[in-house]
Amino acid sequence: MIASDKPNVVVIGGGPAGSTVSTLIAQKGYRVELFEREVFPRYHIGESMIPETYWVLKRLNMLDKMKGSHFIKKYSVQFVGQSGRLSAPFYFHDNKPHECSQTWQVRRSEFDLMMIENAAEHGVTVHQGTRVLEVLFDGDRAIGVKVADPSGETREVFADVVVDASGQSSMLINKFKLRVPDPELNKGAIWTYFKGAYRDVGKDEGATVVLSVQGKNGWFWYIPLHDDIVSVGVVGDFDYLFKGRTSHEQTYAEELERCPAVKERVENAEQVEKIFATKDYTYRASQGSGDGWVLVGDAFGFLDPLYSSGVLLALKSGELAADAICDGLEKGDTSKDQLGHWVPNYLVGMKRMRRLVSEYYEGFNFGRFIRRFPHYTGRVTDLLIGDLFKDDLDEVIASMDQMKAEDEEARLMSTKEQD
C-alpha cells in the first residue's frame, strides 16, 4: 500500500457507533476505512430509540432519511406496574416542545443499513464481510488492523487512529482485560416478535411500554414496529432466567403467564420469529482510550436496556470520539489523553442513567418522587430522553437519596413503634 493511500482512521464495526464516528470524521475531510464483518442488512436487537439521538442524527444528515422512512414514530413511554395498572403516556414533547421529542422504533437491520450507507455517501470507505482479526501495535501505540477480506485473504491496514466499535465483541476490552462488570445488573433477556398483536392508535401507537413481571425483578419490553410487528422481550436476573429452567421457549411462556398485561396483548397474535436469548449484563471499560486507539458504543460499555439508551450512547460516544479524533489529527496529537478527553464526562452521563436503571430494579417509585419533588419533573424527563450530560441533573439524584433516607427513617420509626 502506498503512503498516500493510508487512511487517517480505521473503524472496527459498522453498527450505530462505527457508522457515526466514521461519518463525522469523513465530513471533516479525513480518510476513513470502516471494516464490518457482516454483510448488511443483518439482524440486531436494540430497536427503541430515545429523543436525544436527534441531535447526532442531525449532524449525520440522517434526519430527512428517518423522517422519510416507514419506521414507527415514538412520542412517549408508558409503564405498567406489578398491579397491571397502565400509567399515562409519558410524552417527551411536554418537557421539550421541539421536533426532537419525536423519535422512532426501528428494525435495526434497516436502520443500521441506512447508517452504513450514509457513511459511504459521506466518503467513508466501507468494507462489509471483512473481519478485523487483530489490532496492530508498535509498543503501546495502535498503528492499524489486520483484516480478513470476504475471500479469506488477510492484509494489514495502517492508520493514525484505530476506533474499536465492535459492539459486545469488544475487541480491545478483551485484549487488554479492561472489562469492569456490574454485578448488580447481571441480567439476561429472552424475546421474539408477534404479528397482529395489540397496538394503540394515533400518537400512542409507537409508545414503548415497560411492563413489570408479577412478583419478580423482571420486566417486559413491548415495542411496536412497522408492518404490524411488535418486539416483545423479557429481562430478568441472569440466574433466574437461565439457570435450572428447561428451555428459553418454556421460560418465555412462563414469564408471559406472570405478566397478564403482555399476555393479553399478544393472545390473538402470531409469533413470527424464533425465540432469541442473550446475557445482557452491564459492563464498561476501565480505560476508554490509549495511544492511537479509542473505544465507542458497546465496545466501551453497555447499560441495561431498560430505558433504551444503547443506540443513543453509541451515537453520542461516536460523536464525542469523532470530535476528539479530528482535533487530534489537526494538532498532530493522537495520544491517549487527546483521544479520550471526553470519556470522564461521558461516564458521568452513563452513571446517571445507570442510577435510574438501578432505582427501577430496587422498586423506587418515580410517581411518588415527582409528587414529592414536582419541580424536578422536567429533569427526570431529561434523564429519560437521554439528555444526560448536564450537571444540574445531580440535584435530582441527591433528592432521590433524600427521599430514600426519609423512607428508611419512616420505616425504622414504625418498627420502633410496633416494638
Ligand X SMILES: Cc1cc2nc3c(=O)[nH]c(=O)nc-3n(C[C@H](O)[C@H](O)[C@H](O)COP(=O)(O)OP(=O)(O)OC[C@H]3O[C@@H](n4cnc5c(N)ncnc54)[C@H](O)[C@@H]3O)c2cc1C
CB of 416 to ligand X, least distance (A): 44
Fill in the per-residue mask, 241 to 280: x = in contact with ligand X (CB under 6 A), - = not in contact: -------------------------------------x-x
Q: How far is the CB of 31 from ligand X (least distance, A)?
A: 18
Could you tell me which stretch among 45-53, 238-246, 248-256, 356-364 binds ligand X (CB under 6 A)?
45-53
Q: Which stretch binds ligand X (CB under 6 A): 11-19, 66-74, 257-265, 354-362?
A: 11-19
Contacts with ligand X by CB under 6 A: the residue count is: 39
Q: How far is the CB of 303 from ligand X (least distance, A)?
A: 8
| Residue 165 lies near ligand X (rule: CB under 6 A) | yes
Pick between residue 52 and residue 400 the one whose CB is nearest to ligand X: 52
Candidate ranges 78-86, 159-167, 197-205, 245-253; the one touching ligand X (CB under 6 A): 159-167
Pick the binder of ligand X from 298, 319, 382, 387 (CB under 6 A). Answer: 298
Looking at the Cβ atoms of 119 and 266, the one nearer to ligand X is 119
Does residue 162 interact with ligand X by CB under 6 A?
no
Nearer residue to ligand X within complex by CB, 11 or 266: 11
Binding status of residue 16 toward ligand X by CB under 6 A = yes
Q: Of the ranges 15-23, 238-246, 321-329, 388-396, which one interacts with ligand X (CB under 6 A)?
A: 15-23
| Reduced 3-state DSSP string for the chain | CCHHHCCCEEEECCCHHHHHHHHHHHHCCCCEEEEECCCCCCCCCCCECCCCHHHHHHHCCCHHHHHCCCCEEECEEEEECCCCCECCCEEHHHCCCCHHHCEEECCHHHHHHHHHHHHHHCCCEEEECCEEEEEEEECCEEEEEEEECCCCCEEEEECCEEEECCHHHCHHHHHHCCEEECHHHCEEEEEEEEECCCCCCHHHCCCEEEEECCCCCCEEEEEECCCCEEEEEEEEEHHHHHCCCCCHHHHHHHHHHCCHHHHHHHCCCEECCCCEEEECCCEEECCCEECCEEECHHHCEECCHHHCCHHHHHHHHHHHHHHHHHHHHHHCCCCHHHHCCCHHHHHHHHHHHHHHHHHHHCCCCHHHHHHHCHHHHHHHHHHHHCCCCCCCHHHHHHHHHHHHHHHHHHHHHHHHHHC
- 187 interacts with ligand X by CB under 6 A: no
Query: Among residues 310, 328, 340, 349, which is the contact residue for ligand X, using CB under 6 A?
Result: 310
Comparison of 75 and 369: residue with beta carbon closer to ligand X: 75
Sites for ligand X among residues 108-147 (CB under 6 A): 131-132
**Which positions lie near ligand X, rule CB under 6 A?**
12-18, 35-38, 44-49, 131-132, 165-169, 171, 189, 278, 280, 297-299, 302, 305, 308-312, 314
